[in-house]
Structure 1
Amino acid sequence: MINFLSYACIGVGLVFWFWGTSHLLGKRSLLFKLHSLSVADTLGSMSIIIGLLMKIPSEWPLLILAIISLAIWNTMLGYVLAYCSSSEDGYE
């Protein structure tokens, strides 16, 4: 049962990765595309790590650290991208 749940989480993660990448082909703004990609990649990566956590529970400290790092890194990257793209900074 654990193997099935592990592979299901990894499969869901891969679906999120491809789903986020598919938004890059749309005609929306660049920021919408980046937001969709970063959210889907974060959720996909976390799902894959949870699947690995079920598969190899002996490595839980490193895998939990990876999940926390993903959450913090992608949140900060989103704020940096939003700040850099704002038109109020006078760099236009």
Structure 2
Amino acid sequence: MTQTAAVIRMPKRFDYSSGVEFNQAILAALEFGGNITLDCSEMDYIDSAGIGLLVMAQKKVQSSGAALTMNSLKTAPKEILGLANIQKIIDIE
């Protein structure tokens, strides 16, 4: 099993306004190599723009040979991500 290199704490609201900061965090984490875990314990809200950011991040992470995992999801965001079938491309713990 590959060691997790980075944990990124997700914001309360994950939407278009989170994009720049999130992408910078993903790129910084990829520089260290290894897998990335998204700590979703604070996240109350995600919309379609947030889902798009996750999909783009997954592509970047996968192309670098690492894995992206989400954990500690609250009920509402977990339901939205389930409707979008995100669990097919990102591991949800």
The answer to whether TM tops 0.5 is no
Structure that is richer in helix per residue: 1
For this structure pair, what is the TM-score category when the shorter chain's length is used for normalisation?
Answer: under 0.3
Structure that is richer in strand per residue: 2
> Which has the higher Rg, Structure 1 or Structure 2?
1
